[in-house]
Protein backbone atom coordinates (compact mmCIF):
# COMPACT_ATOMS: atom_id res chain seq x y z
CA UNK A 1 0.00 0.00 0.00
CA UNK A 2 1.21 3.49 -0.88
CA UNK A 3 0.17 7.13 -0.48
CA UNK A 4 1.16 8.61 -3.83
CA UNK A 5 3.63 10.99 -2.19
CA UNK A 6 6.88 10.55 -4.14
CA UNK A 7 9.98 10.00 -1.98
CA UNK A 8 12.64 10.14 -4.67
CA UNK A 9 13.25 10.15 -8.40
CA UNK A 10 15.41 7.32 -9.69
CA UNK A 11 17.06 6.71 -13.05
CA UNK A 12 16.75 3.52 -15.08
CA UNK A 13 20.17 1.86 -15.15
CA UNK A 14 19.27 -1.29 -17.10
CA UNK A 15 16.38 -3.20 -18.66
CA UNK A 16 17.51 -6.78 -19.11
CA UNK A 17 15.30 -9.27 -21.00
CA UNK A 18 15.01 -12.49 -19.02
CA UNK A 19 13.07 -15.28 -20.72
CA UNK A 20 10.25 -13.05 -21.93
CA UNK A 21 10.17 -10.92 -18.77
CA UNK A 22 12.31 -7.91 -17.88
CA UNK A 23 14.66 -7.32 -14.98
CA UNK A 24 14.63 -3.59 -14.29
CA UNK A 25 17.47 -1.95 -12.34
CA UNK A 26 17.00 1.57 -11.00
CA UNK A 27 19.63 3.87 -9.50
CA UNK A 28 18.20 5.91 -6.62
CA UNK A 29 21.06 7.44 -4.58
CA UNK A 30 18.69 9.80 -2.72
CA UNK A 31 16.28 7.03 -1.60
CA UNK A 32 16.82 5.67 1.93
CA UNK A 33 17.53 1.95 1.51
CA UNK A 34 18.32 1.33 5.19
CA UNK A 35 14.95 -0.37 5.75
CA UNK A 36 14.59 -2.04 2.34
CA UNK A 37 14.97 -5.83 2.19
CA UNK A 38 14.53 -8.48 -0.48
CA UNK A 39 10.84 -9.06 -1.09
CA UNK A 40 9.82 -5.50 -0.13
CA UNK A 41 7.70 -3.42 -2.49
CA UNK A 42 8.68 -0.16 -4.17
CA UNK A 43 6.24 1.70 -6.40
CA UNK A 44 8.15 2.61 -9.56
CA UNK A 45 6.18 5.11 -11.67
CA UNK A 46 3.14 3.85 -9.79
CA UNK A 47 3.78 0.14 -10.41
CA UNK A 48 4.09 -1.96 -7.25
CA UNK A 49 7.19 -4.09 -7.87
CA UNK A 50 9.03 -6.57 -5.65
CA UNK A 51 12.70 -5.97 -4.84
CA UNK A 52 14.86 -8.93 -5.93
CA UNK A 53 18.26 -7.27 -5.45
CA UNK A 54 19.31 -4.19 -3.53
CA UNK A 55 22.39 -2.26 -2.45
CA UNK A 56 22.95 1.14 -0.86
CA UNK A 57 21.90 3.14 -3.93
CA UNK A 58 20.04 0.90 -6.39
CA UNK A 59 17.59 -1.98 -6.64
CA UNK A 60 16.35 -4.50 -9.18
CA UNK A 61 12.86 -5.88 -9.83
CA UNK A 62 11.44 -8.52 -12.14
CA UNK A 63 8.60 -7.33 -14.35
CA UNK A 64 6.13 -9.88 -15.74
CA UNK A 65 4.60 -9.83 -19.23
CA UNK A 66 1.23 -8.96 -17.63
CA UNK A 67 2.72 -5.83 -16.08
CA UNK A 68 4.54 -4.91 -19.29
CA UNK A 69 1.28 -5.20 -21.27
CA UNK A 70 -0.81 -3.12 -18.87
CA UNK A 71 1.56 -0.25 -18.12
CA UNK A 72 3.75 2.31 -19.84
CA UNK A 73 6.87 0.41 -18.81
CA UNK A 74 7.81 -0.15 -22.47
CA UNK A 75 8.38 3.61 -22.68
CA UNK A 76 11.29 3.33 -20.24
CA UNK A 77 14.87 3.18 -21.45
CA UNK A 78 18.29 3.61 -19.92
CA UNK A 79 18.38 7.08 -18.38
CA UNK A 80 14.60 7.45 -17.95
CA UNK A 81 13.47 9.17 -14.76
CA UNK A 82 11.19 7.14 -12.49
CA UNK A 83 9.04 8.24 -9.53
CA UNK A 84 9.71 6.13 -6.44
CA UNK A 85 7.82 5.42 -3.23
CA UNK A 86 8.51 2.69 -0.69
CA UNK A 87 5.55 0.81 0.75
CA UNK A 88 3.95 2.83 3.56
CA UNK A 89 4.40 2.02 7.25
CA UNK A 90 1.67 2.20 9.93
CA UNK A 91 3.43 5.31 11.20
CA UNK A 92 3.60 7.02 7.79
CA UNK A 93 1.93 10.41 7.47
CA UNK A 94 -0.96 9.83 5.06
CA UNK A 95 -0.49 12.87 2.84
CA UNK A 96 -1.96 11.54 -0.41
CA UNK A 97 -4.70 8.94 -0.87
CA UNK A 98 -4.93 5.12 -0.79
CA UNK A 99 -2.77 3.81 -3.65
CA UNK A 100 -2.42 0.09 -4.35
CA UNK A 101 0.29 0.29 -6.99
CA UNK A 102 -1.92 -1.72 -9.37
CA UNK A 103 -2.00 0.20 -12.65
CA UNK A 104 -5.45 0.25 -14.27
CA UNK A 105 -4.41 1.57 -17.66
CA UNK A 106 -2.19 3.90 -19.64
CA UNK A 107 -3.01 7.55 -20.27
CA UNK A 108 -1.70 10.00 -22.86
CA UNK A 109 -0.68 13.61 -22.19
CA UNK A 110 -2.80 15.64 -24.62
CA UNK A 111 -2.08 19.19 -23.47
CA UNK A 112 0.57 20.97 -21.42
CA UNK A 113 0.73 24.70 -20.81
CA UNK A 114 1.95 27.12 -18.19
CA UNK A 115 -0.75 28.43 -15.85
CA UNK A 116 0.79 31.15 -13.64
CA UNK A 117 3.47 29.25 -11.67
CA UNK A 118 1.82 25.86 -12.08
CA UNK A 119 1.60 23.62 -15.17
CA UNK A 120 -1.80 22.72 -16.59
CA UNK A 121 -2.21 19.24 -18.08
CA UNK A 122 -4.96 17.41 -19.88
CA UNK A 123 -4.53 13.63 -19.85
CA UNK A 124 -6.65 11.25 -21.89
CA UNK A 125 -7.37 8.07 -19.94
CA UNK A 126 -8.95 4.83 -21.22
CA UNK A 127 -12.72 5.28 -21.68
CA UNK A 128 -13.56 2.40 -19.35
CA UNK A 129 -11.77 4.19 -16.49
CA UNK A 130 -13.58 7.51 -16.90
CA UNK A 131 -16.48 6.44 -14.67
CA UNK A 132 -14.05 6.09 -11.75
CA UNK A 133 -12.99 9.75 -11.93
CA UNK A 134 -14.66 12.87 -10.61
CA UNK A 135 -13.98 16.59 -10.44
CA UNK A 136 -11.95 17.27 -7.26
CA UNK A 137 -11.45 13.53 -6.85
CA UNK A 138 -8.18 11.64 -6.56
CA UNK A 139 -6.19 9.91 -9.28
CA UNK A 140 -2.70 8.42 -9.40
CA UNK A 141 -0.55 9.30 -12.42
CA UNK A 142 2.92 7.72 -12.65
CA UNK A 143 2.60 6.98 -8.93
CA UNK A 144 1.78 10.59 -7.98
CA UNK A 145 -1.36 11.27 -5.92
CA UNK A 146 -3.13 14.13 -7.70
CA UNK A 147 -6.43 16.00 -7.46
CA UNK A 148 -8.48 16.32 -10.65
CA UNK A 149 -9.49 19.90 -11.41
CA UNK A 150 -12.09 18.81 -13.92
CA UNK A 151 -13.17 15.69 -15.80
CA UNK A 152 -14.37 16.12 -19.40
CA UNK A 153 -15.46 12.74 -20.74
CA UNK A 154 -12.28 10.70 -20.53
CA UNK A 155 -10.03 13.77 -20.26
CA UNK A 156 -8.65 14.50 -16.79
CA UNK A 157 -7.51 18.08 -16.14
CA UNK A 158 -4.72 18.70 -13.63
CA UNK A 159 -2.74 21.64 -12.27
CA UNK A 160 0.74 20.77 -11.02
CA UNK A 161 2.35 23.13 -8.54
CA UNK A 162 6.10 23.92 -8.90
CA UNK A 163 7.12 21.72 -5.94
CA UNK A 164 5.42 18.62 -7.33
CA UNK A 165 6.86 19.21 -10.81
CA UNK A 166 10.37 19.57 -9.39
CA UNK A 167 10.44 16.53 -7.07
CA UNK A 168 8.93 14.10 -9.61
CA UNK A 169 9.53 13.22 -13.27
CA UNK A 170 6.77 15.60 -14.41
CA UNK A 171 8.87 18.60 -15.42
CA UNK A 172 11.10 16.65 -17.80
CA UNK A 173 9.01 13.62 -18.77
CA UNK A 174 5.41 14.80 -19.16
CA UNK A 175 5.29 16.21 -22.66
CA UNK A 176 2.43 16.10 -25.18
CA UNK A 177 2.22 12.50 -26.38
CA UNK A 178 3.90 11.01 -23.29
CA UNK A 179 2.39 7.80 -21.93
CA UNK A 180 1.68 7.69 -18.18
CA UNK A 181 0.49 5.01 -15.77
CA UNK A 182 -3.02 5.54 -14.39
CA UNK A 183 -4.50 4.11 -11.19
CA UNK A 184 -8.03 5.19 -10.31
CA UNK A 185 -9.30 5.72 -6.77
CA UNK A 186 -9.60 2.29 -5.16
CA UNK A 187 -12.73 3.39 -3.25
CA UNK A 188 -14.49 4.29 -6.53
CA UNK A 189 -13.48 0.94 -8.00
CA UNK A 190 -15.05 -1.04 -5.16
CA UNK A 191 -18.16 1.12 -5.07
CA UNK A 192 -18.72 0.43 -8.77
CA UNK A 193 -18.44 -3.29 -8.08
CA UNK A 194 -20.91 -3.15 -5.19
CA UNK A 195 -23.42 -1.15 -7.21
CA UNK A 196 -23.20 -3.48 -10.20
CA UNK A 197 -25.99 -5.98 -9.51
CA UNK A 198 -25.10 -8.07 -12.57
CA UNK A 199 -21.59 -8.64 -11.22
CA UNK A 200 -22.96 -9.76 -7.86
CA UNK A 201 -25.73 -12.04 -9.14
CA UNK A 202 -23.68 -15.17 -8.60
CA UNK A 203 -22.53 -14.19 -5.13
CA UNK A 204 -23.75 -16.60 -2.43
CA UNK A 205 -26.63 -15.26 -0.35
CA UNK A 206 -26.06 -14.95 3.37
CA UNK A 207 -28.15 -17.23 5.59
CA UNK A 208 -28.08 -14.67 8.37
CA UNK A 209 -31.37 -12.76 8.59
CA UNK A 210 -33.14 -10.72 11.24
CA UNK A 211 -35.27 -13.74 12.19
CA UNK A 212 -32.15 -15.92 12.48
CA UNK A 213 -30.54 -13.40 14.82
CA UNK A 214 -33.73 -13.21 16.92
CA UNK A 215 -34.06 -16.99 17.15
CA UNK A 216 -30.49 -17.31 18.37
CA UNK A 217 -30.71 -14.65 21.05
CA UNK A 218 -28.82 -11.83 19.30
CA UNK A 219 -31.86 -9.54 19.23
CA UNK A 220 -34.03 -8.62 22.16
What is the C-alpha separation between 220 and 1, in angstroms, rounded? 42
CATH for the stretch 8-86: 2.40.30.20
What is the C-alpha separation between 19 and 31, in angstroms, rounded? 30
- The DSSP H or E segment spanning 150 is strand 150-152
User: Cβ contacts of residue 82 below 8 Å, gap of 6+?
Assistant: 9, 10, 11, 12, 26, 44, 45, 76, 169
Give the CATH number of domain 105-200; options: 3.30.365.10, 1.10.1740.10, 2.40.30.20, 2.60.40.1180: 2.40.30.20
Question: Is residue 51 a contact partner of residue 59, using CB atoms and an 8 Å limit?
Answer: yes
What is the C-alpha separation between 193 and 196, in angstroms, rounded? 5
Closest by Cα among 148, 103, 143, 154 to 121: 148
All CATH 2.40.30.20 domain ranges of the chain, comma separated, are 8-86, 105-200
Q: List, for residues 66-99, the tens digit of each pLDDT value.
A: 999 999 998 999 999 999 999 998 887 788 888 9
Q: Could you read off the pLDDT tens digit of each residue along the chain, which spans 220 residues?
A: 899 999 999 999 999 998 889 999 999 999 999 999 999 999 999 999 999 999 999 999 999 999 999 999 989 999 999 999 999 988 877 888 889 999 999 999 999 999 999 999 999 999 999 999 999 999 999 999 999 999 999 999 999 999 999 999 999 999 999 999 999 998 888 888 888 766 555 555 666 677 766 776 766 6
Residue 200's pLDDT is: 54
Amino acid sequence: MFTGIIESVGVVKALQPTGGDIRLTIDAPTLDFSDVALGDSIASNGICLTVVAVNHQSYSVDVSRETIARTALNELKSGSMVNLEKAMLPTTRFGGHIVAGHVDGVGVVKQRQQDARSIYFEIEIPSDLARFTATKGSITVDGISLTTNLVKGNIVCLNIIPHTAQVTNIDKHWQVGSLVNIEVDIVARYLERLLNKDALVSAPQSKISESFLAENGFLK
